[in-house]
Amino acid sequence: MRSQKSLIVFLNTFLILFFLLMLTYSSHVEAARPLGGQSLSSLLSEIVLDRAYSGPSHRGRGH
């Protein structure tokens, strides 16, 4: 009976450690991959350009 309890405790401990190891490994893999899509700086410059072109037209201004 005592050996069964110690075996269950060992298996639970092993599974928890294995899970934590896999969780740590997966977070390192996610951090190593570049993000898809656009970077923040290119997204901000695109917003600024969209805003600049969305206003009223000033054709002939300064002539």
Sign of torsion, CA 18 22 23 28?
Answer: positive
Enter the pTM of the model. Answer: 0.43
Q: What is the pLDDT of residue 10?
A: 96
Q: What is the pLDDT of residue 17?
A: 96
User: Over its length of 63 residues, how does the chain's per-residue pLDDT go in tens digits?
Assistant: 788 999 999 999 999 999 999 888 877 665 555 555 555 566 556 665 555 555 566 665 555
DSSP label at residue 16: H
Q: What is the pLDDT of residue 23?
A: 86
Q: What is the pLDDT of residue 2?
A: 82
Rounded to whole angstroms, how far apart are CA atoms 18 and 12?
10
